[in-house]
Amino acid sequence: EVNISNFVYPTGQSEKKGAFDFADSLGQYIKDQFKDRPLSKEDKISLVCHSQGGVISYIWFISHIFKQDSDFEYVQHLDSIITLGTPFWGSKLASILTDKRNPDIIPFIKLFAPPEFQMTRHEIADMAFGSDTVNMFRNLAVELDSDEKLSQILENLPVRLINVSGLLPEDKSKIFVDPKNTKLNGFTTKIVNSIYSLFQKKGFGGKRVESDIAVIVPSSRWNFIYSTPQKITSNKTIESSEFKH
């Protein structure tokens, strides 16, 4: 039996809340899924996360490896954490939007963007290169890697950590939103296209820009600094069971 549940954290609602707060909410949400029965030996938990959601899931996951508290029971039942375009080490998009030298369009995003695009300035700043959140997360990763006992705990867990990232096309004209093929309202479409235009002028080098579905590849790999290389040829098909953390 497979049960699918959608965790929606309160993004865009409070300037006082950030990724670490949302990680606590995720932990409570996971526990609530088992409030009517205890975990059984056969139970497996998989998390599929997009963008900031991946950072939140890893904060929850790693923090309980450190704490070894009652919630570690749920970590032990993790089968996989799959992240899609997650900016573990920072986002070019967030860095540009919060750079004081650039036009401030965050208020317009909050006014006109649909709910799924709502984020507070605090949340966006969380994902910028060199933010306090990115720095704290990096320190957790470094300590996890350098502590032999913690590294062994991670190695013994059955969880598969899979990070998926993508690149936008080199033809920058193709990244703009086509009003004929979008559910966004007209003004939101203009905002999105304005952001991408800003990328063309303020990008950090390279021919390709970044969006929340195409975070720069090093940033989308949580262990790109501390990892065991796994060579995969371009013409080889990889089963999910073959991925290593």
Q: CA distances (Å), 47 to each of 75, 127, 177, in order?
A: 11, 20, 29
Q: What is the mean pLDDT of the chain?
A: 80
Strand order in the sheet with 78-84: 45-50, 78-84, 160-164
Reported as a single tens digit per residue, the pLDDT across 12-57 is 788 888 899 999 999 999 999 998 888 898 999 999 999 899 999 9
* Both structure tokens of 15: 């300037």
> What is the per-residue DSSP string for the chain?
----------TTS-TT--HHHHHHHHHHHHHHTTTTS---TT--EEEEEETHHHHHHHHHHHHHHHH--TTHHHHTTEEEEEEES--TT-BHHHHHHT-TTS---HHHHHHHS-GGG---HHHHHHTBTT-HHHHHHHHHHHHHHH-HHHHHHHHHS--EEEEE-----S-GGGGS--GGG-SS-HHHHHHHHHHHHHHHHH--SSS----TTS--GGGG-TTSSS-------TT----GGG---
Reported as a single tens digit per residue, the pLDDT across 83-142 is 998 999 998 888 888 888 887 877 877 676 666 667 888 888 999 998 999 998 888 888
pTM of the model: 0.78
Q: In this structure, how many other beta carbons lie within 10 angstroms of the beta carbon of residue 190?
A: 15
Residues 72 and 106 sit within 8 Å (Cβ to Cβ): no
Question: Rounded to whole angstroms, how far apart are CA atoms 124 and 106?
Answer: 9
Share of the chain above pLDDT 70, in %: 68
Question: Rounded to whole angstroms, how far apart are CA atoms 179 and 188?
Answer: 10
pLDDT at 224: 66
pLDDT at residue 225 greater than cutoff 60: no
pLDDT at 245: 46
